[in-house]
Amino acid sequence: MKVLISGASVAGPVLAHWLHRYGFEPTLVERTPAGRHGLGGHAVDLFSSAADITRRMGCWDAIEAARTQLDAMTIERFGRRPVEVDLSRMYAGISSRHVEILRGELTRTLYGATRDTAEYVFGDSIASLHDDGAGVDVVFDSGTERRFDLVIGADGMHSTVRRLVFGPEQPLHRPLGGYLAVFSMPDVFGLGNHTLSHFSVGKLVGIYGVHQTGQVRAGFLFRAPDLQYDYRDKDQQKALLAKEFRDYSWKVPQLLEHLEQAEDFYFDSIAQITLDTWHRGRIGLVGDAGYCPGPAVGGGTSLAVMAAYILAGELAAARSDLPSGLRNYERIIRPVVEQSRRFAPKVMRTIIPAGPLALRLMPAAAAVLPKLPTAVQRFIWSQNAVGKALSSVPLPDYSDLVQPQSGQSVT
Ligand SMILES: Cc1cc2nc3c(=O)[nH]c(=O)nc-3n(C[C@H](O)[C@H](O)[C@H](O)COP(=O)(O)OP(=O)(O)OC[C@H]3O[C@@H](n4cnc5c(N)ncnc54)[C@H](O)[C@@H]3O)c2cc1C
């Protein structure tokens, strides 16, 4: 069975790994050219179930080695004393199996784990798809034509596969009222493994060190009424960000000095993708492409890892009836997606303070949490809906479907 996966960031390589182990032949097409794949990216979280999956893939040691190593955060606000937060204790309190890692590092690790068992095509994209019921004919931007048994879109929030099969993005795009921007710059503040953050009503600015490069990432989150921009036009987005923060003091003027030169600049609205079904015939969606819960607020990375693992397992279990494998995958993953969707707006309200009360309370809570006994921290975490959803899903066991010729033992 030949499966084409569009997108090779998080969901794509995890899906490819497991499909190969179940005897499928995965091909990944990634729009980014080979030399730029896995560069840049922001800090993301792998919570326990997703961490377990990467352990079963044999990637855990590499992921642990690449983790961010951010150990402390200073929270600042106008007219108030700074609050120090012990991040190492906070992460330990969330779960013993949680890791924060830059998305680019995660992508590179997953690529390393799959490059010998999956075909990778870089610098190309699907131009058209035709599903005739027995297979899918694909034409690529490069002009290449190929046929696959199944096509999966793992190509993120602005998925091409979704647009080709389910129509334009706009009606499926539910904005949560916030925006975020991230870019790299030199460590002019000597941060090392420290995080600096500044909160005000409707705005959050964070700066954190990246030990792999010695640089820092500057992140901006803000609330704004509907902004009009083209998600591919970086210059337009940089101008929007500069305008939004032009009167902000703190360290923002120094950060904005590096905006123009930033090559890995990312800007997008914090929005959800609200498609009701994630498959049609022999074409399916996984990760942000199908159900982005909102960048930075919905645990999208863990969701992408778990969903890709379950999709591969259900396809293998369905074997000759791939559409029924897609249906079963959707049934299993739907409750997790729905929890994540419900929870994301609450996270956004917490991290971008909506008013003076939230601005006063949030830093105090962040400072107190790591000081509580680990068991209490884990209890508090277990009560939060996204944590509950992403950490408590019993992972189905597909180990009896692993094909012996993959040459790997099941762990
Ligand atoms: C600033 C920011 C902060 C975030 N913080 C967190 C966090 O703290 N915790 C967390 O869990 N999640 C976080 N996320 C979300 C997280 O990055 C995503 O949920 C996760 O990466 C989803 O993985 P994915 O593989 O589904 O899609 P993506 O990671 O978006 O990958 C899509 C891939 O498809 C490729 N692609 C796109 N179009 C095409 C095409 N036409 N053809 C071929 N390839 C294509 C892209 O180049 C990319 O490699 C954050 C996101 C952002 C933007």
When pLDDT is averaged across residues 49-67 and rounded to a whole number, the result is: 93
CA distances for 243 relative to 237, 251, 264, 323, angstroms: 10, 16, 19, 48
Q: Which two tokens stand for residue 393?
A: 């899903």
Token duo for residue 171? 């009606």
Ligand 1, closest atom to CA 180? 1
**Beta strands across the sheet bearing 25-30:** 119-122, 25-30, 2-6, 150-153, 283-285, 279-280
Q: Residue 5: which of 22, 33, 24, 30 has the closest Cα?
A: 30
What's the CA-to-centroid distance between 8 and ligand 1, angstroms? 9
Task: Decide if pLDDT at 411 tops 50.
Answer: no
Q: What's the CA-to-centroid distance between 300 and ligand 1, angstroms?
A: 8
Task: Write the single-letter amino acid at 346.
Answer: K
Lowest mean pLDDT, pick from 237-246, 266-275, 277-286, 371-380: 371-380
The pLDDT of 162-180, averaged and rounded, is 96
* Ligand 1 pocket mutation pick from 4, 5, 9 by most atoms within 8 angstroms of CB: 9
| Pairwise pLDDT comparison (81 vs 372), residue with the higher score | 81
Enclosing H/E stretch for 129: strand 126-131
pLDDT, averaged across the chain: 90
Across 246-270, average pLDDT = 95
pLDDT of residue 409: 42
Q: What is the mean pLDDT of residues 261-283?
A: 95
Per-residue pLDDT at 65 = 92
Determine the distance separating the centroid of ligand 1 and the alpha carbon of 156, expressed in angstroms: 5
Top pLDDT among 346 and 74 is at 74
User: What are the φ and ψ backbone dihedral angles of 92, each rounded to 5 degrees?
Assistant: -60, -35
Largest CA distance in the chain: 66
Angle between helices 103-114 and 11-21 (to 10 degrees): 20
Give every CB contact of residue 207 below 8 A, 6+ residues apart in sequence: 189, 191, 195, 196, 197, 216, 217, 218, 219, 251, 255
pLDDT tens-digit map of 310-358: 999 999 999 889 999 999 999 999 988 998 888 888 888 888 998 998 8
Confidence band for 367, pLDDT divided at 50, 70 and 90: confident
> In this prediction, what percent of the chain has a pLDDT beyond 70?
91
259 CA distance to ligand 1 centroid (A)? 22
pLDDT attached to residue 132: 98
Distance 268 CA to ligand 1 centre (A): 11
User: How confident is the model at residue 208, as a pLDDT?
Assistant: 93
Ligand 1 binding pocket, CB closer than 6 Å: 6-12, 29-32, 42-45, 103, 125, 154-156, 160, 180, 182, 266, 287-289, 295-296, 299-302, 304
Which residue has better confidence, 230 or 393?
Answer: 230
Contact 28, 5 (CB under 8 A): yes
| Confidence (pLDDT) at 378 | 64
Q: How many residues does the chain have?
A: 411
Which runs of E-coded beta strand occur in 19-78?
25-30, 43-46, 72-77
Share of the chain above pLDDT 90, in %: 68
- Assess whether pLDDT exceeds 80 at residue 191: yes
Give Cα separations from 30 to 124, 168, 220, 354, 395 (angstroms).
6, 21, 27, 38, 28
C-alpha to C-alpha distance for 351 and 134, rounded to whole angstroms: 48
Identify which of 17-21, 213-217, 366-370, 387-391 has the greatest average pLDDT.
17-21
Closest listed residue to residue 129, CA positions, set 166, 157, 156: 166
Q: Is the pLDDT of residue 376 over 80?
A: no
In 201-321 the beta strands, taken as DSSP E runs, fall at: 203-210, 215-223, 266-273, 279-280, 283-285
**Ligand 1 atom nearest to CA at 268:** 53
Rounded distance between C-alpha atoms, residue 100 and residue 122, angstroms: 27
pLDDT confidence bin for 410, thresholds 50/70/90? very low
**Rg, C-alpha atoms of the chain:** 21
**pLDDT exceeds cutoff 90 at 5:** yes
Query: Of ligand 1's atoms, which has the minimum distance to the CA of residue 160?
Result: 41
What is the C-alpha separation between 134 and 130, in angstroms, rounded?
Answer: 11
For the chain, give every domain's residue range: 2-66+100-172+272-346+394-406
Q: What are phi and psi of 346, to 5 degrees?
A: -70, -40
Cα-to-centroid distance, 405 and ligand 1 (Å): 32
Question: Which of 3.40.1020.10, 3.90.1150.10, 3.40.630.30, 3.50.50.60 would CATH assign to domain 2-66+100-172+272-346+394-406?
Answer: 3.50.50.60
